[in-house]
């Protein structure tokens, strides 16, 4: 058996790309051997004592699976639907029900095997709670992950009960290639921490074929890694010296292959080794070769024998499919009352948008159920997976009661659904200068909750005032940590033909020439809460000076800020769109953001307030404010809205008066103290100004 080699997987057609994709299974196997050399004997003993497969099993080996999605709210935070697509692919591949099995060439049709495995997402977690089999953990360790992710709190479930799969954005990038996945071989078990390490790490963009999943990979990266998890080696093990049942991949029905990249392009009748008997062409259909995923279509009968023997001879694999474990993990039902659990296609929707709910109750068979949807068009139903809609904006409670002859259980979640107007209330210009301590209270602006490492308000430096927003990177933020702020929903239609843009001031200086901070802009349309990137700027272009470096930089002058502006012309017909600003840590300096504006003017040295000479005072006020601004041309009007977007006071009806306009507004007795939006329409846009009435 070879002692030193790396797995490589060619993802793209060789004629198109020369990028190698590296699998680390063998590297970790060699590390295990170095820690405990007896592993070599353990493996040899296992292969020398394989029991042949008898009759077809009465039941398949059923394996409970948990996907630990390690993320910081980026594209690596893949959807449940994408994970379910991967489960579908695994079950097809391991039961020879894959659609492309008809492409298996004649020499191998008689050795292609139904391996009799089935993979199911776990329905009960280690604490006995219902789960959908996806464990999402917010942590920047998803970058260059390797084994580090397995030691995050709650990120490794007992390997005797679950197949652990860790989903990350990157595993390792080196001059030798990009790693797509790796697994621990079962005969590596006699090493320290094996119970924590055991499982599969895979890149998020190679899970399934929908969402961010690679179409060319066809979901076969995980099929390949599960093969390793169940004891299989690669078909090109030991090259042409790997011919026979006792060498190479230990399978007599998989012809030897000369090298790693030999079959990358799936050559029609390639025969890279001629010393095998019988002398057969290369079996690039095999999932354990490194041919393209779309070419792969089979495991062999000898491989099936190895996998079945692993399930019977290693206790931590055998227990996975035991009847007790299938009950423990919720795959099979117990004789008890069910536990209520549900989820939905969305948590945030527009008015009158359909939402489907799913009864994912666990532990026992549900024979009766009752949904209660506060504020929905359907207030109650006993349908398993109902579709409902809401006609009014707000936050709504959802409740599910399930039962059987052993008892009932109810789950109620307050404010489970957020319903937004179908047409956004806010019109350009939508601005944020972070001057108020309550800048994100009831205004539609929000920082995504990321625990301690998140955007915070900075009160000692700003571009146009004293405050700004800061991504506190230099305070120990790891590589890849993301900081995200979301704007209110905006109706951009008033800007049609006026070149709308999203702009902001950035305060940043690189720590060194290798600093890798970056900023991205995303959009989300029509309350769908899914984000699409449309801009990226790296550290070099963010820095206000490209050739100077400073450790612990903090802007202290106006020239320490740089304008970032991005055209929104492609969105000018959108009546309901949100934007997300994301800063990614390169483990360097803080990034400061100030004076965000969505409108037809850039935030710049002359702010929009200064363009129209806007002055609102006193602010905060007890009961009266003075409003002064300049109207250059066109119609102008002024009104006051509450934070829900309802107009509560007309201050200045539409007028064509130009020049300096001075107004005084005294709040009515029925207007409570709090935060309000003063809206001034002038210069072909609407300017928003927060005002506070307080005692």
225 is catalytic: yes
Degrees, nearest 5: CA angle 464-470-473: 145
H helix runs in 182-276, sequence order: 194-197, 220-229
* φ and ψ at residue 30, rounded to 5 degrees: -65, -35
- Integer Cα distance of 102 and 99 in angstroms: 7
End-to-end Cα separation, the chain, in angstroms: 81
* Six token digits for residue 622: 């007890």
| Of 132, 133, 130, 150, nearest in space to 141 by CA | 150
Task: Collect all residues with Cβ–Cβ distance below 8 Å to 7 and sequence separation of at least 6.
Answer: 22, 23, 24, 25, 26, 182, 234, 260, 290
Secondary structure class of 656 (helix, strand, coil):
coil
Task: State how beta strands 407-420 and 348-350 pair.
Answer: parallel
Q: Which of 27, 76, 225, 435 is catalytic?
A: 225
The side-by-side arrangement of strands in the sheet containing 615-617 is: 615-617, 624-631, 659-666
3-state secondary structure 101-118: HHHCCHHHCCCECCCCEE
- Integer Cα distance of 689 and 640 in angstroms: 10
- Residue 485 pairs in a beta bridge with 447, 581
- Integer Cα distance of 28 and 524 in angstroms: 41
Task: Collect all residues with Cβ–Cβ distance below 8 Å to 516 and sequence separation of at least 6.
Answer: 479, 538, 539, 586, 587, 588
**Residue appearing with tokens 């797995």:** 7
Q: Which residues are catalytic?
A: 225
């Amino acid at each position: 058996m070879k002692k030193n080699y790396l797995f490589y997987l060619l993802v793209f057609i060789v004629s198109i790309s020369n990028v190698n994709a590296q699998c680390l299974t063998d590297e970790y196997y060699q590390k295990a051997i170095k820690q405990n050399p007896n592993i070599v004997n353990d493996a040899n003993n296992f292969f020398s004592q394989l029991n042949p497969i008898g009759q077809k099993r009465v039941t398949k080996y059923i394996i409970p699976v948990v996907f630990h999605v390690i993320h910081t709210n980026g594209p690596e935070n893949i959807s449940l639907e994408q994970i379910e697509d991967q489960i579908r692919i695994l079950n097809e591949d391991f039961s020879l029900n894959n659609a492309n099995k008809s492409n298996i060439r004649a020499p191998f049709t008689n050795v292609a095997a139904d391996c009799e495995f089935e993979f199911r997402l776990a329905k009960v977690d280690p604490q006995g709670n219902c789960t959908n089999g996806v464990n999402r953990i917010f942590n920047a360790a998803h970058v260059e992950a390797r084994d580090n992710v397995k030691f995050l709190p709650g990120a490794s479930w007992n390997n005797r009960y679950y197949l652990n799969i860790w989903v990350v954005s990157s595993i390792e990038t080196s001059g030798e290639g990009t790693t797509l996945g790796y697994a621990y071989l079962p005969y590596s078990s006699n090493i320290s921490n094996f119970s924590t390490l055991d499982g599969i790490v895979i890149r998020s963009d190679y899970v399934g074929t929908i969402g961010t999943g690679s179409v060319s990979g066809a979901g076969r990266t995980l099929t390949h890694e599960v093969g390793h998890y169940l004891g299989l080696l690669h078909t090109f093990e030991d090259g042409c010296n790997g011919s026979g049942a006792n060498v190479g991949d230990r399978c007599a029905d998989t012809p030897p292959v000369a090298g790693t990249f030999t079959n990358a392009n799936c050559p029609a009748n390639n025969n890279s080794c001629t010393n095998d008997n019988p002398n057969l062409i290369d079996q690039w259909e095999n999932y354990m070769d490194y041919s393209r995923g779309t070419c792969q279509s089979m495991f062999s009968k000898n491989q099936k024998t190895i996998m079945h023997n692993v399930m019977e001879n290693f206790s931590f694999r055998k227990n996975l499919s035991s009847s007790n474990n299938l009950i423990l993990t919720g795959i099979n039902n117990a004789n008890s009352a069910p536990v209520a659990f549900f989820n939905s296609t969305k948590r945030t929707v527009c008015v009158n948008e359909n939402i489907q709910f799913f009864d994912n109750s666990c532990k026992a068979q549900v024979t009766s159920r009752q949904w209660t949807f506060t504020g929905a068009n359907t207030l109650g139903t006993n349908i398993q997976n109902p579709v409902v809609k809401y006609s009014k904006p707000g936050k709504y409670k959802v409740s599910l009661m399930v039962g059987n002859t052993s008892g009932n259980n109810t789950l109620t979640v307050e404010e489970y659904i957020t319903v937004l107007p179908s047409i956004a209330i806010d019109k350009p210009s939508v601005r944020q200068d972070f001057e108020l301590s309550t800048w994100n209270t009831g205004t539609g602006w929000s920082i995504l909750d990321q625990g301690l490492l998140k955007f915070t308000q900075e009160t000692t430096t700003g571009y146009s005032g004293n405050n700004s927003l800061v991504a506190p990177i230099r305070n120990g933020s790891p590589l890849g940590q993301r900081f995200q702020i979301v704007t209110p929903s905006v109706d951009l239609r008033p800007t049609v033909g006026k070149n709308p843009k999203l702009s902001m001031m950035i305060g940043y200086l690189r720590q060194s020439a290798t600093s890798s901070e970056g900023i991205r802009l995303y959009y989300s349309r029509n309350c769908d809460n899914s984000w699409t990137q449309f801009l990226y700027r790296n550290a070099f272009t963010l820095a206000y000076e490209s050739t100077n470096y400073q450790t612990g930089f903090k802007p202290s002058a106006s020239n320490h800020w740089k304008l970032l502006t991005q055209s929104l012309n492609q969105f000018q017909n959108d009546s309901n769109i949100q934007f997300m600003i994301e800063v990614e840590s390169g483990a360097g300096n803080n990034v400061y953001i100030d004076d965000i504006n969505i409108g037809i003017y850039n935030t710049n040295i002359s702010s929009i307030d200064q363009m129209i000479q806007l002055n609102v005072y006193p602010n905060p006020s007890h009961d009266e404010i003075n409003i002064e601004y300049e109207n250059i041309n066109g119609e102008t009007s002024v009104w006051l809205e509450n934070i829900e977007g309802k107009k509560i006071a007309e201050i200045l009806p539409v007028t064509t008066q130009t020049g300096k306009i001075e107004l005084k507004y005294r709040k009515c007795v029925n207007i409570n103290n709090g935060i309000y939006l003063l809206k001034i329409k002038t210069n072909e846009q609407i300017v928003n100004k927060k005002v506070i009435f307080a005692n």
